[in-house]
Chain A
Amino acid sequence: MKDFSVNSIFLFAAAGLVVVFVVVQSVFFLVKAWKRAGELGIARDTLKRVVKGSAVFTIAPAISIILGVITLSKFLGLPLPWLRLSVLGALTYELPAATTAANALGIPIAQGVADPKVYSTIAWVMTLGIMSGLIIITFFSQKIHKGLNKIQSRDKSWASIFNAALFMGMISAFLGMIFAKITTGIVGWIPVFIMLISSVIMLVCGYFVKVRKVRWLEDYAISISMLLSMALSIPVTNLLS
């Protein structure tokens, strides 16, 4: 049997190949959508703003994902968490999935996996355990969108309300979650305060965009609110706990 290490070059190569594939796919869709946007008459300037805005928006969440990679790497080495969190997976799933798999196998997650059999079991479980979204989208997305088009062609104004209602469902679930710990005392209120701080910063940005006509700010307002309130959460937490 070959020597096994959770950080072997072989594993890095296997993971890297998949990551590269996903980058190629992203570039493919980017090019196709960019061309189509031109045909639809969307201004190049708007597209550039979308690209810049999205890139900046991604920075803070992506850095928090690195933190997830680090956490998992103590147990699974770097290649697998790097692969799972760069593509397909999400911070919110991979950690609990890896922990559950390890528990089922009766392995402590405090130290690195040394047995290739254990490693491959966890890799299989994480891969097959978190795939339903991709499978459904790949095979049924056309059906889902056909259904939506039907709603849209029947009643245009209801269709746009329907879309807004979907957003609101998502946003209200997450806003509600932020209040989940308020009964535990003042520390439980911290996320609520941070949310309010972020809202206030967003309102201030909105004032500059709408009233003062600071146009460039519009694309970065959410990123700025997010980063500033993350930064302010440090003194707020220190003050309250």
Chain B
Amino acid sequence: MTNDNSRSYSEKIHIWGRIWGVIAILMFISYPLVVSIYYSAWPDAGPFFKGLLGVAPVFWLVGAIEAFTYAPMLGSGGAYLGFVTGNLTNLKVPCALNAMESAKVKAGTEEADVISTIAIAVSSIVTVLIIFAGVLLLAPLQPILESPVLAPAFANILPSLFGALAVIFVSRNWKIALAPLLFMLVLFIAVPSLASSVSIMVPVGALIAIGVSRILYKKGKI
């Protein structure tokens, strides 16, 4: 393998990523577009902007934050695919981290980029298949999935996921993890209502972690 080769892959990924990304944006817009045309039902400006104002400020911010936090974690290929296929925090990002961990590749390298892309691609395909099966089998599945017996299991999916993730990542980087963890503990206990906007707190945690580890690094402690 030569350096030339590797440069061309990462360049190609950006070209592919951009082309697929632009088509994806157009495809996503096509849904409301064809609905409006087919049913001759265009939204009135008033309600449309009122709705958009209610949704866009928060979710544009969250999306921007996610882009800047997750892009480095997922690598270039993984980021292009992950942001088209969605469900990042609750699925794609942990899945990619898990895959990079099990393949023993170092985040930020081209190996990690490739592994993360494969993990996200597989996860997207499996997600689409499972949800498709779910939609097909909705009638028999609905009472099971919505039964009060199972409700606690779905309510606790994030604690179940992050409890296990924490063991791997916090134990290895506890010096980096300590400060942001303590900060978040105090913050969320003091202001429980922040739980609904946890995504906005991710970059805050990242900045604290980066700041503290920069100091520790300069002092030669990590």
Nearest-neighbor residue (CB-CB) of A73 within chain B? B138
- The CA-CA distance from A9 to B138 in the complex, in Å, is 16
Question: What are the residues of chain A within 8 A of B102 when measuring CB–CB?
Answer: 49-50, 53, 218-219
The SS class assigned to the A binding surface is helix
Q: How many A residues touch the partner, as a band?
A: 35 or more
Nearest CB of B to A231, in Å: 6
Q: List 12 A-B contacts (CB under 8 A).
A: A22-B27, A50-B102, A53-B99, A54-B119, A88-B84, A92-B199, A104-B53, A125-B48, A160-B108, A180-B192, A198-B160, A233-B159
A82 with B198: CB separation less than 8 A: no
Nearest CB of A to B125, in Å: 5
B174-222 interface (Cβ within 8 A of A): 176-177, 180-181, 183-185, 187-189, 192, 194-196, 198-199, 201-210, 212-214, 217, 222
Nearest CB of B to A65, in Å: 6
Q: Does A181 contact B (CB under 8 A)?
A: yes
B160 with A50: CB separation less than 8 A: no
A206 with B169: CB separation less than 8 A: no
- The CA-CA distance from A148 to B73 in the complex, in Å, is 11
- The CA-CA distance from A238 to B155 in the complex, in Å, is 13
A162-211 interface (Cβ within 8 A of B): 162-184, 190-192, 194-199, 201-203, 206
A123 with B195: CB separation less than 8 A: no
B62 with A93: CB separation less than 8 A: yes
A33 with B153: CB separation less than 8 A: no
B10-37 interface (Cβ within 8 A of A): 10, 12-14, 16-18, 20-25, 27-32, 34-36
B97: contacting residue among A26, A148, A167, A237, CB under 8 A: A167
A121-170 interface (Cβ within 8 A of B): 121-142, 144-145, 148, 152, 157-170
